[in-house]
Structure 1
Amino acid sequence: MTQASNGPTLPPTEEELSRARLELVVEGPVARVTINCPERRNAMTGRTWTTLAHIGQTLPEDVRIVVISGKGDIFSAGIDLGMFSPEGVDGERSMVSGLADGTSTEAEVQDYIAGLQEGFLWLRRPDLVTIAAVRGHAVGAGFQLALSCDLRVLADDAQLCMKEPALGLVPDLTGTKPLVDIVGVHRAVEICLTARRVGAQEAQALGLAELVVASDELPGAVDDAVAALLATDREAATATKALLQQAAGNTLQQQAAAERGAQVGRLAALARGAAGR
């Protein structure tokens, strides 16, 4: 596990998870993170995302798979809009009050957002495979959280929506790049600037979902995906994911060289293993 040098060393406590509207269950190589605030449609706050970052920084080293889901019949309605009210949410300061009253500079707000983004960025780590299990609505930050994962398994009632522009905002939780990478810039513009809902079948056609199943089949489909992923050698999976992540930015020649280097590393590891038998 890669851990930030200045990050926490202990996982979040149950109290911290509860305040962040999250549940965490780790069973051997599988960690399951559940957004747990169904009374507010699993809306999230800044504390949700900083606690997600904390989870990523303190996962046990043997964890290979992370599954993100929402409690009940909805993935997440996105940011709790109380975050934009003068009083904020549950002890968290409003995201706009500091700029409004001059107590926060734009640079300070950028630093704050950077901290929130850390809750999404770790899901791309090559040593993990991350799965979003989406039923019901995945709106705004919820959609971006699903986009942060390697795989998206959708129930047939899933609805994806990038709501931020309709609220006078921009998507700022690392979702714009994967959206453009998957659907292209023109379709991404249409999805974001109309803030329309993308249903499960359309999401699959666009490449935003790897699998669509009936709602009652979602847990089983996710478990099947987890089992298939765990059947692959961990080191080979990590090296392959790292190769795939750099492919879009590489020329063919650069990618071929990267493949050679990665393969030599794998062959050397296999040779060491054979010699040790």
Structure 2
Amino acid sequence: MEPQIITFRESQLSLQDGIAEFTHLNSAARNALSMGLRDDYIELLARLQSDRSIRCLILTGSGGSFCAGGDLKSLRERQASTDPEIRSPDAMRRRLQAVHRWVEPLRNLEIPVIAAVDGPAYGAGFALALAADFILASSRASFCMSFAKVGLVPDAGALYLLPRVVGLQKAKELMFSARRVGVEEAHTLGIVQAIHAPDELAAQARAFARRFLNAPREALGMTKGLLNRSFETPYSTLAELECYAQGIATAQPYHLDAVEAFLRGEPARYDWDRS
């Protein structure tokens, strides 16, 4: 079956066999997080949230770059504007609020999200990769919390996401120094799940995504939602939410069929090692 291709402003969405692959296409600007690409993400999420046939999402770049971060050219144009409303601090506050209105839903999608990072993932591009559940990287990938280099505070969810992956102390070091993190160090820190050759990354990301095609969508979605809240949720509250989630999971056809198959001695439909 041929993939369904949907072209947006600065990106492309491919849908095939339950896997969605979203590719940043403005390689001339190293796939910077422009206003156009932000609008593309909003459309992407609207489509995915209404299509339950999609079981996994892959985010990737093009031209040897994942995403170089925010569009500094547009920030300069904002500062140069003669309209005080456009260059006001409140305008920037609202601009970032608009970013969080799609970054948070991306992080909380009830399907696994894989970031396939080839080349730089800098600034907001690094934060975008961290919003995924898994980061697969090429051997030439690199990461940088570059905000301090241009006198900015980490944004696009970076302040929330990075400490949860590397710990608070290491997050401070990476954000204060704004230094480049090579792919091997990123793997050691737990940022990167696996490293692949650049020409194998796309195929490896699709193979990784295919592992989830037979997974219990509802159970994994609820597990992800609970884990995403686990650091700031009291034990008693998370325990109560766990009970509600398990009540829903045990009523799903997937669970009932899996129990019957197990009792008949049949292999599990979802087997990570076998797949």
TM-score range, shorter chain: 0.7 to 0.9
**Matched-pair contact (CA < 8 Å) for 2:216–2:254:** no
Conserved 8 A contact 2:120-2:142: yes
C-alpha contact (below 8 Å) 1:166/1:193 kept by paired residues? no
Check 1:257–1:225 CA distance in 2 against 1; reply closer, same or farther (3 A cut): same
The CA distance in 1 between the partners of 2:166 and 2:243, in whole Å, is 30
Structure 1 residue aligned with 2:272: none
**Cα distance in 2, alignment partners of residues 214 and 192 from structure 1:** 28
Match of 1:26 among 15, 37, 52: 15
1:172 maps to 2:172 = no
2:65 match: 74
How far 1:56 sits from its partner (Å)? Answer: 0.7
- Match of 2:85? 103
**One-letter amino acid of the counterpart of residue 45, structure 1:** S
Distance 1:75 1:242 in 2: 26
Gaps of 5+ in 1: 1-12, 87-93
Amino acid in the other structure paired with 1:233: P
2:127 equivalent among 119, 144, 148: 144
Return the alpha-carbon distance in structure 2 between the equivalents of residues 84 and 252 of structure 1. Answer: 42
Residue 49 of structure 1 contacts residue 118 of structure 1 at CA under 8 Å; is this kept in 2?
no
1:85 to 60, 76, 84: 76
Query: Take 2:59 and 2:255, find their aligned partners in 1: how far apart are those partners?
Result: 36
Corresponding position: 1:155 with 2:132: no
C-alpha deviation, 1:272, in angstroms: 9.7
Matched with 1:43 is: 32
Identity, % of aligned pairs? 28
Report the CA distance between 1:228 and its aligned residue: 0.9
Counterpart of 1:189 (choices 172, 190, 197) is 172
Equivalent pair of 1:65/1:128 in contact (CA under 8 Å) = yes
Structure 1 Cα separation of the partners of residues 207 and 18 of structure 2: 15
Contact 1:49 1:120 in 2 (8 A): no
Aligned residues of 1:147 and 1:179 also touching (Cα < 8 A): yes
Deviations 1:17-74 (A, max 9, x none): 23xx211222242211111122222223122112212221232412221111111222
Q: Which runs of 5+ in 2 are unaligned?
A: 1-5, 261-275
CA contact (8 A) 2:31 2:67 kept: yes
Q: 1:41 to 1:132 in 2, by over 3 A?
A: same
Q: CA deviation at 1:173?
A: 1.0
What RMSD over aligned residues (CA atoms) do the two structures have, in Å? Answer: 2.4
